[in-house]
Amino acid sequence: MNLEVKNENYIESLYWRYATKKFDNEKELSEEDLEKLLESVQLSASSYGLQPYEIFVIKDSETKQKLREAAWNQPQLTESSHVFVFANFRKIEEEHIDAYLDNIASSRNTSRESLKGMEDMLKNTILSLSEEEQRIWGAKQTYIALGNLLSAAAGFKIDTCPMEGFDNAKFDEILNLEEKNLTSSVIATVGYRSEEDSVQHFEKVRKNKSELYTIL
């Protein structure tokens, strides 16, 4: 691994981050730290800026236990402080696009009429996708938010484990997602590493830059 830029703080935090296998279940995220994570994820980029998803942040132990049982009993679900469940829309409705355009108009103090061109473009493009295409597209957006959570948390020295190892249908049932027109796509457990987690000492395994990049 090329460590020549390792001294820069941001890169350093990316080396510090690892997919935590064992959390210290005595340590809880403070309200302040949680707020920093919520704000970081809120600022994630998304295609057109639509953010076609919602995120459930679970602290309640009973719910975490149920989720653990639907996640191949992975201990991170109950040992971490909070579980973030990213859930994209099952079907993107006209009202989602309207709400977004209303938000642009009020955030930027502009008239709704001036956004007519954008409205037509968004509705024509997104609403003509099949439900499956919308779901795939929506799920992709959640992964950008997930990536942001992992990197931001590392910057604040908060540990995470991204996870796809869970039963999506069971998660949807536990969190009543279907009735909210949502479906779970990916999750992350968040908290503080246990000193006993030997994985934190493992060397990073990554492709060489020459294998990963083609610079033209």
Ligand X SMILES: Cc1cc2nc3c(=O)[nH]c(=O)nc-3n(C[C@H](O)[C@H](O)[C@H](O)COP(=O)(O)O)c2cc1C
Residues near ligand X (CB under 6 A) are: 18-19, 21, 74, 161-165, 186, 204
CB of 143 to ligand X, least distance (A): 7
Work out how close the CB of 95 gets to ligand X at its nearest, in angstroms, rounded to a whole number.
30
Which whole-number Å values give the CA distances from 143 to 136, 157, 193, in the listed order?
11, 21, 23
Closer to ligand X by Cβ: residue 113 or 203: 203
User: Least CB distance from residue 21 to ligand X, whole Å?
Assistant: 6
Q: Which is nearer to ligand X, 56 or 166 (CB)?
A: 166
SS3 readout for 79-119: HCCEEEEEEEECCCCHHHHHHHHHHHHHHCCCCCHHHHHHH
Q: Which amino acid is at 170?
A: K
Taking the least distance from each CB to ligand X, the nearer of 29 and 150 is: 150
The pair of structure tokens assigned to 30 is: 């403070």
Q: Which two tokens stand for residue 113?
A: 């009429």
Closest CB to ligand X: residue number: 165
SS3 of residue 196 by DSSP: coil
Q: How many CA atoms lie within 13 A of 67 on its CB side?
A: 31
CB of 80 to ligand X, least distance (A): 11
Is the CB of 67 or the CB of 161 nearer to ligand X? 161
